[in-house]
Chains A and B, each alone.
Chain A
Amino acid sequence: MALTVDKASKSFPGVRALKDASLELRSGEVHALMGENGAGKSTLIKIITGVHRPDGGRLLLDGQDVLFASPRDAIRLGISAVHQERNLIPRFSVAENILLENLPRRTGLVDYARANAEAKKYLEMIGLVVDTRTEVRHLSVAQMQMVEIAKALSHEAKVLLLDEPTASLTGEEADALFALVQRLKAQGAAILFVSHKLEEVLAIGEPMANMTRGRLIEAMIGRAERIAVVRPPKAATGAVKLEASGVATAAGHRDISFTVRRGEILGLYGLVGAGRTELARALVGKDKLSGGTLSIDGKPAVIRSVEEALKRHRIGYLSEDRKYEGVVLLHPIRFNVAMTIWDRLARFLGFQTAAGERRATEPFARQLEIRTPSLEQSVGNLSGGNQQKVSLAKWLAAKVDLLIIDEPTVGIDIKTKAYIHELIGKLADDGLAILLISSELPEMVALADRILVMHEFRIVDGFDNDRSYEAMSRKVMGAIHRHSDEAVAVE
């Protein structure tokens, strides 16, 4: 069985997601596909599995032209994927989620006894121990990820596409997955393994053997290491902007303590699901603290809402979820950038004009080199990189003292990424306190002055950053491994 993608292209309004991508998957081989989020990997997978229809190019299965109208068609022909988004039905059981499109039946009705037995088989294959009758909404992020993999296995797929399957897994879980991939390979499956972690790609097998033909693929390779800007180390001497002591939240954080100074970049590293974003949300008043105290500029403070964080404490949060929390796609650039400063722009009785917004936001749009014919352009029509710049511009306009930056370069082209890294450094040099959240270690090592490691809603360790990727990666990963071992030992 061989699957060939020949010069596939796909555009979404305002974005060219994929251009002339070609690749070939053969049974008994594992192909690794590298590249950052947003490089088009997910789009490629969605084209292969019939979620998106390509604008151009061909899809061949054993030399035959195929075009899938829906994921259903692809599954039927033995092509199955684990996508990046959570794709489980929260209120359905583990077994039912795994077997959703192919539930065993007896006399027309679902046979749950058999479904549970069958699902158990797949769970054993991947080494996940949970009751198959548990509703998936009660599982942890890592468990959900494993269920998704079990689900893909259940299709008895001949072509298996794994999109960042290890993002939320710990070291051991990931190792178990690698072993499984090798087993499936031996059984004759064709596997595409997508990741942005170089170590993984090197570990998993024949990397990039057939993938240098398409322009896009070439561009993907080697991106991971290329962090253009490395910020020189600097002793943090500014005043303490925020001090958290013993902070706890309903989400599960316990005993979180740290300080951020003006002029300093404090890194917060952790796997997906480690609780970094949840902590950021609690710090800006989106979620409540259930314990501990915050002190801002040396004074004890309680932040009850994001509005209060911004207006009273001058703290801003650049969300990782750009489309849903960062920008308002429907509205123009000036509207988005001015959102944080409307109060300041308002004149008599709250009156203001588009012209006033334009005047106030133009310097920031220019400073950030947002590429657009006009500030009246809807943000929905901009590229990912420019959207991120708009989201950043909003916080520059707000003139905050502390900016919490969550995964600032996800899904962004290489040039903009370098630019944003440079900008973050410059902001810190100008005296801004920055809390940088990232799951990309190279980015962390290049930018942060200190790195805190978060694992399962605790800060498990912290290091001064010596700018050496190898050393830091050993320290950070070591901390995470140590603590997942402890967690297992305690259980």
Chain B
Amino acid sequence: MGAFFRLQWSGILVGIIAGGIALALSAPAFLSEFNLFVLLRSICVSLLVAYAQMVMLGVGQMNLSVGALGGLVAVVTGGLMDALGVPTLPAIMIGVAAGGAAGFVNGWLTVRTGINGFIVTLATASAFAGINLGITKAVPFYNLPADFVAFGNGRVGLFPLLLIVPLLVTVVLALFFARAVPGRHMLAVGGNAPAAQLSGVSVPRAIISAHVLSGLLAAVAGVLAVAQLGSAQPTIGSDWLLISFAAPIIGGASLAGGAISIVGTLLAVVLIGLIQNAMVLVKVDPYWVQFLLGALILAAVWFNRYRAIKVGEI
């Protein structure tokens, strides 16, 4: 296990370090405190989005509604604060709980109806987006509490306050998947569902739990996105699909399930953030980001496959 993942990280890590050095040399602005702050802040939401999908890949499923769900939570939370005047903390808690509930709906539908999780979450993605648009009529909520917006913009040196949340989540998730029984059971189901079932692991429960966890993570991502933007935009989440799959897959997760890497995902998000930052710094067409991201995914999966064959895993 160690050798496998270490090799995984090393590739991405080398990419990050080499890219960082190249950027520092070619664009001095890269190492400025403000730029590093912007870079780190841009990672926060992406990381949670990536985790939301990583959890699903762990149990061997997909969640296409990550973005729509996050967007819905964003406007629900924003709406509670702006239109209904709910204080910050209760509003966030209600929003995140709604995300968990939406995740439960995904999981329950997948388990109970036996419909492929891909189709279920494709459909609920549409439904969540519909509720989002129905609530907002495509108009954002701007009037958010000052403390909330301040949290989104605050920093200590080059570290954004926002970063606290994803770091905390990273530690909890790492512990959860390495040491907690429900986490191990999720990975067992992803690795070999019939075997897990015969061993007395409840497969439906593991799948539903994974969907709830995914919903909660996407919800937190939605709330952070609102804090970062300073307004609850109905478009939040609409561009999360690609990154949600890209980061865990570049980080070494397999679509077949049961194999995920938290550190790999974390580093992949950093690498993607670095690329986006570089595009801005060297003033390249922003469209290149999308192009490079696609190329990066292909290169990563191809490399993974190649390495697995070399090591003799396939």
Known A-B contacts A87-B192, A88-B192, A90-B192; the reply to A110 vs B179 at CB < 8 A is yes
B200 adjacent to A89 (CB under 8 Å): no
Q: Does B229 contact A (CB under 8 A)?
A: no
Given contacts A91-B191, A100-B188, A135-B1, contact A105 B181 (CB under 8 A): yes
Question: Chain A contact residues (Cβ within 8 angstroms of B): what range?
Answer: 20 to 34
A51 within 8 A of B: yes
Q: Which of A90, A92, A110 has the most CB of B within 10 A?
A: A92
CB–CB A83/B259 < 8 A: no
A91 near B181 (CB under 8 angstroms)?
A: no
B296 at the interface (CB under 8 A from A): no
* In contact, A89 and B181 (Cβ under 8 angstroms): no
In the complex, what residues of B have CB within 8 A of residue A38's CB?
A: none
User: Which residue on A lies nearest to B196, using beta carbons?
Assistant: A89
Q: Which residues of A contact B (CB under 8 A)?
A: 49, 51, 70-72, 75-76, 81, 83, 85-92, 96, 100-101, 103, 105, 108-110, 112, 135, 137, 151
Contacting pair A71 B197 (CB below 8 A): yes
B-chain residues with CB within 8 Å of residue A49 when the two chains form the complex:
198
Interface residues in B, total, Cβ within 8 A:
22
Which residue of the partner chain, among A83, A110, A137, contacts B180 with CB atoms under 8 Å? A110
Chain B residues at the A interface, C-beta cutoff of 8 Å = 1, 175, 179-181, 184, 187-188, 191-192, 194-202, 258-259, 313
**In the bound complex, do residue B181 and residue A88 qualify as a contact, i.e. CB atoms below 8 Å apart?**
no
Knowing A89-B192, A89-B258, A91-B1, say if A101 contacts B175 (CB, 8 Å).
no
| Count of A-B contacts judged by CB separation below 8 Å | 74
Do B181 and A51 touch (CB < 8 A)? no
Contacts of B259 in A (CB 8 A): 91
Q: Inside 8 A of A96's CB, which chain B residues have their CB?
A: 184
Q: Which residue of B lies closest to A151 (CB)?
A: B199
B5 to chain A, nearest CB (A): 11
Partner of B200 from A75, A88, A105, A135 at Cβ < 8 Å:
A75
How many Å lie between the Cα of A90 and that of B199 in the bound state? Answer: 14
- Contact B179–A89 (Cβ < 8 Å): no
A72 and B179 form a contact (CB under 8 A):
no
CA distance A51 to B196 in the complex (A): 12
Check if A91 sits within 8 Å of B258, measured CB to CB. Answer: yes
Q: When the two chains form their complex, are residues A90 and B258 in contact, meaning their CB atoms are under 8 A apart?
A: yes
The answer on a CB contact under 8 Å between A87 and B198 is: yes
* B192 and A51 contacting across the interface, CB-CB below 8 Å: no
With both beta carbons as reference points, the residue of chain A lying nearest to B179 in the complex is identified as: A109
Partner among B1, B188, B313 whose Cβ is within 8 Å of the Cβ of A89: B188
The answer to whether A72 touches B202, judged by C-beta atoms less than 8 angstroms apart, is: yes
Which of B181, B184, B195, B259 lies at the interface centre, i.e. has the most chain A CB atoms within 10 A of its CB?
A: B195
Given contacts A85-B194, A109-B175, contact A92 B199 (CB under 8 A): no
Let me know if A51 and B198 touch, CB within 8 A.
yes
Contact B200 A71 (CB under 8 A): yes
Contact between A72 and B181 (Cβ–Cβ < 8 Å)? no
Central interface residue in B1, B175, B188, B200, by most chain A CB within 10 Å: B200
Q: Please name all residues of chain A whose beta carbon is closer than 8 Å to the beta carbon of B194 when the two chains form the complex.
A: 85, 87
Question: What CA separation (Å) do A86 and B201 show in the bound complex?
Answer: 16
A105 neighbours in B (Cβ, 8 Å): 181
Residue of B nearest to A76 (CB): B200
Contacts of B201 in A (CB 8 A): 72, 100-101
Q: Give me 24 A-to-B residue pairs in the complex whose CB atoms sit less than 8 angstroms apart, sorted by A's number.
A: A70-B197, A72-B201, A72-B202, A75-B200, A76-B200, A87-B192, A87-B194, A87-B195, A87-B199, A88-B195, A89-B187, A89-B188, A89-B195, A90-B191, A90-B192, A90-B258, A91-B1, A92-B187, A92-B191, A100-B184, A103-B181, A109-B180, A110-B179, A151-B199
A85 to B202, CA, bound (A): 19
Collect the chain B residues with CB atoms within 8 Å of residue A109's CB.
175, 179-180
Q: Cβ of A71 and Cβ of B198 under 8 Å apart? A: yes
Interface pair B199/A71, CB less than 8 Å apart: yes
Q: Which residue of A lies closest to B182 (CB)?
A: A108
Please, which residues of chain B bring their CB within 8 A of the CB of A71?
A: 197-200
Docked pose: A101 CA to B200 CA in angstroms: 6
Which B residue sits closest to A83, measured CB to CB?
A: B198
What residues on B are CB-neighbors of A135 within 8 Å?
Answer: 1
Residues of A within 8 A of B197 (CB): 51, 70-71
The reply to whether A110 and B184 form a contact with Cβ atoms under 8 Å apart is yes
Instruction: Supply 13 further A-B pairs (C-beta < 8 A) apart from A85-B194, A103-B184.
Output: A49-B198, A71-B197, A72-B202, A75-B200, A76-B200, A81-B198, A86-B192, A87-B199, A89-B188, A92-B188, A100-B188, A110-B179, A137-B313
Q: How far is the CA of A41 from the CA of B192 in the complex (A)?
A: 23
Chain B residue nearest to A109 in the complex (CB) = B179
Nearest CB to that of A96 among chain B residues?
B184
For the complex formed, measure the closest distance between the CB of A366 and the CB atoms of chain B, giving whole angstroms. Answer: 38
A72 to B188 CA separation, bound complex (whole angstroms)? 15
Whole-angstrom CA separation of A76 from B200 in the bound complex: 9
| Chain A residue nearest in CB terms to B312 | A250
Minimum CB–CB distance from A326 to chain B (whole Å) comes to 21
Tell me, rounded to whole Å, the shortest Cβ–Cβ distance linking A435 to chain B: 27
Task: In the A-B complex, list the 7 residue pairs whose CB atoms are closest, starting with the nearest.
Answer: A101-B200, A87-B195, A72-B200, A109-B179, A89-B191, A100-B199, A75-B200
Q: Which residues of A contact B196 (CB under 8 A)?
A: 89, 100
Residues of A within 8 A of B179 (CB): 109-110, 112
Which of B181, B192, B195, B199 lies in contact with A110, CB distance below 8 A? B181
Q: Give, as a whole number of angstroms, the nearest-CB distance from A163 to chain B.
A: 11
Cβ distance A48 to chain B, nearest Cβ, rounded Å: 12
The smallest C-beta distance from A79 to any residue of chain B, in angstroms, reads 11
- Bound-complex Cα distance A70 to B194 (A): 12
Q: What are the residues of chain B within 8 A of A81 when measuring CB–CB?
A: 198
A101 nearest CB neighbor, chain B only: B200
Shortest distance from the beta carbon of B119 to any chain A beta carbon, whole Å: 19
A109–B181 Cα gap in the complex (Å)?
7
Residues of B within 8 A of A151 (CB): 199
> Which residue in chain A gives the minimum CB-CB distance to B189?
A89
In this complex, which of A72, A101, A105, A137 has the most chain B Cβ atoms within 10 angstroms of its Cβ? A101
Smallest CB gap from B195: residue in A: A87
Specify which chain B residues have a CB less than 8 angstroms from the CB of A89 in the assembled complex. Answer: 187-188, 191-192, 195-196, 258
Of all chain A residues, the one with the shortest Cβ separation from B192 is A89
Inter-chain CA distance A300–B48, complex, in Å, is: 58
Q: How far is the CA of A137 from the CA of B254 in the complex (A)?
A: 16
With both beta carbons as reference points, the residue of chain A lying nearest to B204 in the complex is identified as A70
How many angstroms from the CA of A76 to the CA of B202 in the assembled complex?
13
Count chain B CB atoms within 10 A of each CB in A71, A89, A109, A135 and give the residue with the most.
A89
Residue of B nearest to A46 (CB): B198
